Every structure is written in structure tokens, then in C-alpha cells.
């Protein structure tokens, strides 16, 4: 792996359990992702994700209802090049989206544009689809509408529950999010209109 000067400085925004945060930290620790987590921001002071940040020695900040200006200031002070939303249950102020154009990613537990917004896994099961998956996308000012970077399908079993499907999706998410961040770090993602071109021969 590369030296620390070549690692992509990132911030991760969380609200809850933080299993995706943990997966990113673990992937960095295994030297499989050339990034460094400079800052974790939570809108929820009791998020277990904050304990994960502390345990990894990563700086964290609670901003319960941040204004766009406060969020942008915190991210700019941390000197990050990429912002990763990982279970962040707040809508990002447009000011923050504009301050980091095509430099904010989100992970969503459905195959967008299907089932955007809250409770995606519940929506998926209620609709009776046979196949779902997860999506990593760039964030724009809409809700789960930005250009799609990576998707992976997950089949739904006949006896699937919200808990079992969430677990299956998490397993995929924990592998896919670090992969998307590495593609960004390597400069392999190019946005053309609403599409993301991936300059990697094994992907499209």
C-alpha cells in the first residue's frame, strides 16, 4: 500500500450503528483501502458509530442539526477530499452539496432508483420484489437521486424478514463501499451527465 501522503482524506457521516464505518476502518487497517478517516460526524449523540470512531482513534464530532455553513466548516477544517454518508439520517444542506461537488457519496440499501428514502428494506419487502441490492452513488440535492457508482444485486428468499435481508445487504455493503472509495481515490470515476464512467477494466 501507499504511504500516508497518498491516502485519500475522508470524512464519514453517521447516525446509527456504524457497521459501514467499521467496514471502511477495517479495510484501511488491512491495507486494502488507501484512505484515512480524518473525521466522523454524527447528528445523533448516542450513535454506536461514535464509539467505533473513538475505538479506532478517529476524531469525531456531534452536530445535531447542523447548518450548511457549520457542516462545510467542519469538513473543510478536517481537510477532506471525499465525504461518505454511511447511514446518515439527515438531509444534507444544499450548501454542503455545493461545497463538495461530486465529492460526496452515499450508500443505499436498495437498487436505486427503486425504493429511495427511508425504510428502503421495509419498502422492498412490502412491494414483493424478488431481487434487491445496494447502491453507492454520488450525492446531489435530491433524495437518493445522484449518479450511480456501483450496484450489486441480492436475491430475496421466500421466508425473508427485514432483519435477514438487512444482514444480507450489510455483507455486500461492507465490501462495496470501500471498493467505491478506492475507485475514487484512484481517480477512476468520471461523471458524464448523470452517468458515472469507471475507468477500470474489470468494471463498467
Instruction: State the catalytic residues.
Output: 108
Whichever of 6 and 156 has its CB closer to ligand GRF, that residue is 156
- Joined together, the cell numbers standing for residue 97 give 452539496
Residue 42's H or E segment, with its range, is: strand 35-42
Residue 109 as a binder of ligand GRF (CB under 6 A): the answer is: yes
Q: Which stretch binds ligand GRF (CB under 6 A): 5-13, 58-66, 104-112, 189-197?
A: 104-112
- Interaxial angle between packed helices 19-29 and 48-55, expressed in degrees from 0 to 180 and rounded to the nearest 10: 10
Q: How far is the CB of 86 from ligand GRF (least distance, A)?
A: 5
Cα torsion 118, 122, 127, 132: sign = positive
SS3 126: helix
Determine, following the binding rule CB under 6 A, whether residue 17 of this chain makes contact with ligand GRF.
yes
Dihedral sign from CA coordinates of 5, 7, 10, 15:
negative
Binding of ligand GRF by 140 (CB under 6 A): no
Q: Is 16 an interacting residue with respect to ligand GRF (CB under 6 A)? A: yes
In the bound state with ligand GRF, the residue whose beta carbon lies nearer, of 49 and 61, is 49
Q: Which parts of this chain interact with ligand GRF (CB under 6 A)?
A: 16-20, 49, 86-87, 107-109, 169, 173
Amino acid at each position: 500500500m501507499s504511504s500516508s501522503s497518498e491516502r485519500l482524506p475522508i470524512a464519514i457521516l453517521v447516525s446509527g450503528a456504524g457497521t459501514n464505518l467499521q467496514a471502511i476502518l477495517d479495510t484501511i487497517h488491512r491495507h486494502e483501502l488507501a484512505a484515512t478517516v480524518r473525521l466522523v460526524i454524527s447528528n445523533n449523540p448516542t450513535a454506536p458509530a461514535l464509539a467505533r470512531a473513538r475505538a479506532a482513534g478517529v476524531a469525531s464530532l456531534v452536530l445535531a442539526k447542523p447548518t450548511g455553513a457549520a457542516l462545510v466548516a467542519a469538513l473543510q477544517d478536517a481537510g477532506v477530499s471525499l465525504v461518505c454518508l454511511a447511514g446518515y439520517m439527515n438531509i444534507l444542506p444544499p450548501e454542503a452539496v455545493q461545497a463538495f461537488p461530486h465529492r460526496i457519496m452515499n450508500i443505499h440499501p436498495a437498487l436505486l432508483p427503486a425504493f429511495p428514502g427511508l425504510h428502503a428494506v421495509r419498502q422492498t419487502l412490502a412491494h414483493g420484489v424478488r431481487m434487491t441490492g445496494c447502491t453507492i452513488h454520488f450525492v446531489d440535492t435530491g433524495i437518493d437521486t445522484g449518479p450511480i457508482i456501483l450496484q450489486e444485486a441480492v436475491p430475496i428468499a421466500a421466508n425473508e424478514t427485514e432483519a435477514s435481508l438487512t444482514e444480507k445487504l450489510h455483507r455486500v455493503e461492507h465490501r462495496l463501499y470501500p471498493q467505491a472509495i478506492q475507485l475514487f481515490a484512484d481517480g477512476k470515476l468520471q461523471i458524464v451527465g448523470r452517468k458515472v464512467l469507471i475507468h477500470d477494466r474489470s468494471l463498467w
